[in-house]
Amino acid sequence: MEQRTLGASGLEVSSIGLGCMGMSHAYGPPKDKPEMISLLRAAVERGVTFFDTAEVYGPYANEALVGEALEPFKGSVVVATKFGFDLAPNPDARALSAEPRLDSRPEHIREAVDGSLQRLRVDAIDLLYQHRVDPVVPIEDVAGAVAELIRRGKVRHFGLSEAAPATIRRAHAVQPVAALQSEYSLWTRGPESELLQTLEELGIGLVPYSPLGRGFLTGAMDEHTDIQADDFRHSLPRFTPEARKANRALVDLIAAIAARNRATPAQIAIAWLLAQRPWIVPIPGTTKLERLDENLGAATIKLPPADLVDLNAAATAIRVQGARYPDRLERITGR
């Protein structure tokens, strides 16, 4: 697998990472633990060196899973995790499905990091993101707290998630930001308006989550697909039957490009992201080995310039229906 460097940070990772959330959180019941450990280790064997988790996934269960699975590879893989949700009042709540409570106070950051270190079974967190910007805590205080953890050897690199350009600049002035995590794909192109320019200027890498549109861009879903109530997508406006029917035009476009390149729609969606900037590292998630192999196959696809032009032009002309989050979650992005 080719390697990429996240901006000017020097943090080198596989060109495609693995998002681990769905193994424990958001998409129905947690998956079988031995199977997920096997999958994570299979990813390492295939050259994946970049794994993404968070304390809120479970909560806590996903970090523990990743820590156990990757312990034999300590020092040869990069694990990213996140802080920023207040889980104390109800640690069993699914914070991304309920009304979120944020907490990025420096004392909470220190407490969260100590817990993550224990669950991940590491001496230092390779990449620590603020999961969502906390409007109550100045971003300078957050960056300063992480800077202190870096000086103490508990954290190696600082990241932000779903932050606005102005916030990124303020944080970066206190502690260099290695990477920004944000949703970015052929049906979520908001980062192109200002964010990509800011990241390029500051030397910050971009880690797109949901590069396959939470599974929709693979072509495996349509308006008739039954999404269970315990599936996070059940609450998303973009996944109503009406929106899925309207958004099928984008899937059909990707499928046509895939056929021309003897690839799958998922591979084209990921290859498109890889072609946007050399410091972009998508983290598609999966719980199945065959899907892992399919996703990683995108790293070998070099889309012809004509296909990139066609894909960009046609995708831009398609108006995606439905907001990506309900209001309660949209309010905590882009700050």
Enzyme catalytic residues: 57
Angle at 277 between CA 274 and CA 264, to 5 degrees: 15
8 A C-beta contact, residue 129 and residue 156? no
**Nearest residue to 96 via CA among 6, 214, 193, 195:** 214
Contact present, 211 and 283 (Cβ < 8 Å): yes
Amino acid at 213: G
Q: Which of 196, 238, 198, 261 is nearest to 325 (CA)?
A: 238
Contact between residue 186 and residue 213 where contact means Cβ atoms under 8 Å apart = yes
Residue the block writes with tokens 């969260």: 112
In angstroms, the CA 59 to CA 57 distance is 5
What strands lie across the sheet with 155-161, from one edge to the other? 18-19, 50-52, 78-83, 125-130, 155-161, 177-183, 205-209
Q: In angstroms, what is the C-alpha Rg of the chain?
A: 19
- CB-based contacts of 319, cutoff 8 Å, min separation 6: none
In terms of residues, how long is the chain?
Answer: 335
> How far is it, in rounded angstroms, from Cα 208 to Cα 168?
16
